[in-house]
């Protein structure tokens, strides 16, 4: 399975920029499976784990990989020094390239802050501070982003273990093997093939929020630093193409949220709850058009509560490649009743983005004409969305909102890939978040119950929490899908645990929970295999994650 490592990271290799001396980029010493940013709950590096270093000039132009035991601390001219005061250990380079190194953090690395430097051809890099912990799990993914389909084998027999994919689902009750890293140190030398046996670290697995029975959690005998967790897919796990799977170690640290395809047939998965699933699994061109009103109740870090409302129009058109591991963040939603989580670089509420495997943007035009009950407006979109109007009830600022609940028609001018089209959209009214004002200080170790009323009949409510840790330029988000007709949802603590704790300084963080509903309608346009238009009313509130 070691081949997964360069596979998963090859997308990043192209990021390297040739320079003379090795340079480690800021905050770019990461768990090699999850790529969780430092500062996020699973963003530290575990003893005995595989980690990645991103930068430039870190290694040879031609990537190389250690292929035999015992592993050596210097490989292709690359060595890695890890220093804490007078203690120095050498991390073991496993895969070296100009823009990336994958390496093994020795099991005897001192805990706490260490300073890591790469030496390539006798030239030292800049130091990079790294926080070492005993365990910090990351699940390898087949998208190479730390999100989406996990590196999982369905155990059919002792010799038949196909990779789990949207064409080869796991059956409820079936044993599967999940590959990860960061379960904790071992006592045997890391340079040799690891011994078989459970690590001492307590490990838990959830599938769609359902605890799974674990048969084995320890090193994979093939590879240093590579852990495998053998578990039974819960018999009551829901079917779907992107059923959330995640780990927790020591009852404390939650891994990246990945997915597994589950179907009673064991064959191709289906996701009847998600109509865009076919475009992601089978490929195709997808157009998404929406009119949204987003109202946020701000009562954290402000002098007095205030409600800020913005009206947006959003239009995206993408071409999604087909493939057994197709996945698109925010489109490959979990089954109703379940939650998933994404992490990434940047401030998600301003300029950050969730890592995503390649999809091609289509030109569907930038000019949109929106005609509503009492207004008509033409806009040129910037990026995926544009603001239509805003209201801040302070300082006598005039109300410039335009998306009152009602029926709207949106006309596009078309572009090189997608022809002009017209779509009808109904913007719904707000739902009532009945315990909104009580949802302020969120204890991540406790379940979070959210109650509401007024959701349109038959429509589920989606809950999303966003947390941005500005000083570390990283963010996390959780997304839960309530079942249609539900009026409450309990976000489990293991999902909340993926969110970064809010630092004391409110300038350093932004945390918001959103509840949202929608009213979708399909539309047709030349150049799109699927078009969906929807209006939404999104209710948000600032919170603090404790």
Q: Binding to other proteins (CB under 8 A): which residues in 156-185?
A: none
SS3 content of the chain, % helix, strand, coil (to 5): 5, 45, 50
Chosen residue from 324, 371, 400, 420 binding other proteins by CB under 8 A: 400
The H helix count followed by the E strand count for the chain is 3, 39
Structure-token pair, residue 384 = 């995926």
Q: Residue 377's CB: how many other CB atoms inside 10 A? A: 16
Q: How far is the CB of 107 from other proteins (least distance, A)?
A: 22
Q: How far is the CB of 174 from other proteins (least distance, A)?
A: 26
Beta strands in 121-202 (DSSP E): 123-124, 128-133, 138-139, 148-149, 152-154, 175-181
Which of 482, 463, 545, 458 is closest to 510 using CA atoms? 545
Helix (H, G, I), strand (E, B) or coil at 200: coil
**Binding residue (CB under 8 A) for other proteins from 10, 65, 119, 126:** 126
The verdict on 324 binding other proteins (CB under 8 A) reads: no
Shortest distance in whole angstroms from residue 152 CB to other proteins: 24
Determine which helix (DSSP H) or strand (DSSP E) holds 262, and give its type and residue range. Answer: strand 258-262
Choice between 112 and 197, CB closer to other proteins: 112
Contact in structure between 532 and 274 (CB atoms under 8 Å):
no
Q: Which one of residues 392, 419, 430, 486 is an interface residue with other proteins (CB under 8 A)? A: 392
| Residue (177 or 455) nearer to other proteins, CB | 455
Among 10, 65, 90, 115, binds other proteins (CB under 8 A): 115
Block residue for tokens 């010799």? 159
Q: Which of 350, 380, 438, 524 binds other proteins (CB under 8 A)?
A: 350
Dist CA 439 CA 64 (whole Å): 51
Query: Is residue 134 helix, strand or coil?
Result: coil
Question: Would you call 533 helix, strand, or coil by DSSP?
Answer: strand
* Single residue of 170, 289, 357, 410 touching other proteins by CB under 8 A: 289
The count of residues interacting with other proteins (CB under 8 A) is 100
Q: Which residues have CB under 8 Å from 3's CB, separation 6+?
A: none
- CA atoms of 140 and 398, how far apart (whole Å): 50
Out of 282, 440, 519, 529, name the contact with other proteins by CB under 8 A: 519
Q: Is 336 among the residues that bind other proteins (CB under 8 A)? A: yes
User: x/- binding map, residues 351-380, to other proteins, per CB under 8 A?
Assistant: xxxx--------------------------
Map the footprint of other proteins across residues 31-50, applying CB under 8 A.
39
Closer to other proteins by CB, 176 or 464: give it. Answer: 464
Using CB under 8 A as the binding rule, the residues of this chain from 428 to 447 that contact other proteins are none
By CB under 8 A, is residue 11 in contact with other proteins?
no
Residue 449: C-alpha distances to residues 34, 209, 249, 335, 433 (Å): 28, 15, 24, 19, 11
Contacts of 2 (CB under 8 A, 6+ apart): 65, 94, 222, 223, 226
Rounded-to-integer distance, Cα 439 and Cα 352, Å: 25
Q: Which member of 312, 327, 408, 452 binds other proteins (CB under 8 A)?
A: 312
Select 20 or 395, whichever has its Cβ closest to other proteins: 395
Choose which of 10, 11, 13, 25 interacts with other proteins (CB under 8 A): 25
Phi, psi of 198 (to 5 degrees): -65, 140
The span of 70-78, 193-201, 209-217, 300-308 binding other proteins (CB under 8 A) equals 300-308
Compute the least distance from the CB of residue 228 to other proteins, in Å.
32
Among 18, 20, 158, 507, binds other proteins (CB under 8 A): 507
- Residue 122 in contact with other proteins, rule: CB under 8 A: no
Minimal distance in Å, beta carbon 83 to other proteins? 7
Q: Whole-number minimum distance, CB 79 to other proteins, in Å? A: 17
């Amino acid at each position: 399975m070691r081949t997964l490592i360069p596979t998963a990271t090859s997308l990043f290799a192209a990021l390297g920029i040739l320079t003379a001396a090795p340079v480690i980029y800021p905050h770019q010493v990461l768990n090699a499976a999850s790529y969780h940013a430092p500062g996020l709950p699973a963003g530290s590096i575990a003893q005995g784990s595989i980690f990645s270093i991103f930068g430039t000039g870190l290694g040879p132009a031609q990537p190389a990989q250690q292929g035999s035991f015992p592993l050596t601390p210097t490989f292709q001219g690359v060595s890695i020094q890890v220093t804490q005061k007078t203690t120095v250990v050498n991390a073991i380079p496993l895969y070296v390239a100009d823009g990336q190194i994958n390496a093994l953090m020795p099991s005897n690395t001192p805990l706490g802050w260490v300073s890591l430097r790469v030496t390539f051809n006798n030239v030292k890099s800049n130091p990079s501070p790294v926080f070492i912990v005993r365990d910090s799990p990351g699940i390898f993914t087949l998208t190479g982003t730390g999100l989406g389909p996990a590196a999982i084998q369905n155990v059919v027999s002792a010799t038949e273990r196909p990779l789990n994919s949207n064409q080869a689902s796991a059956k409820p009750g079936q044993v599967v093997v999940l590959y990860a890293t960061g379960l904790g140190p071992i006592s045997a030398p890391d340079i040799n093939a690891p011994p078989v046996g459970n690590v001492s670290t307590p490990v838990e697995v959830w599938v769609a929020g359902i605890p799974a029975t674990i048969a084995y959690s320890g090193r994979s005998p093939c590879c240093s630093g590579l852990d495998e967790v053998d578990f039974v897919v819960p018999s009551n796990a829901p079917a779907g193409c992107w059923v959330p799977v995640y780990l927790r170690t020591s009852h404390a640290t939650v891994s990246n949220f990945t997915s597994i395809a589950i179907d009673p047939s064991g064959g191709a998965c289906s996701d009847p709850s998600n109509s865009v699933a076919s475009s992601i699994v089978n490929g195709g061109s997808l157009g998404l058009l929406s009119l949204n009103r987003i109202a946020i109740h701000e009562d954290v870090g402000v002098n007095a509560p205030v409600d800020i409302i913005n009206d947006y129009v959003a239009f995206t058109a993408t071409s999604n490649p087909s493939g057994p591991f197709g996945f698109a963040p925010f489109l490959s939603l979990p089954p109703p009743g379940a939650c998933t989580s994404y992490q990434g670089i940047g401030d998600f509420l301003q300029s950050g983005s969730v890592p995503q495997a390649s999809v091609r943007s289509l030109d569907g035009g930038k000019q949109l004409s929106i005609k509503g009950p009492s207004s008509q407006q033409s806009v040129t979109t910037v990026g995926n969305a544009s603001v239509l109007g805003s209201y801040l009830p302070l300082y006598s600022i005039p109300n410039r909102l335009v998306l009152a609940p009602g029926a709207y028609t949106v006309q596009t001018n078309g572009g090189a890939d997608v022809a002009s089209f017209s779509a009808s959209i109904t913007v719904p009214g707000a739902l009532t978040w009945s315990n909104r004002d009580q949802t302020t200080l969120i204890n991540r170790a406790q379940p979070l119950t959210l109650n509401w009323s007024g959701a349109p009949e038959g429509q589920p409510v989606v809950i999303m929490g966003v947390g941005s840790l500005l000083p570390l330029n990283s963010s996390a988000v959780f997304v839960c899908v309530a079942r249609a007709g539900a009026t409450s949802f309990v976000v489990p603590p293991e999902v909340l645990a993926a969110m970064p704790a809010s630092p004391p300084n409110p300038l350093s963080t932004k945390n918001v929970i959103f509840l949202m509903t929608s009213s979708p309608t399909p539309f047709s346009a030349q150049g799109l295999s699927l078009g969906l238009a929807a209006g939404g009313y999104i209710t948000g509130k600032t919170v603090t994650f404790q």
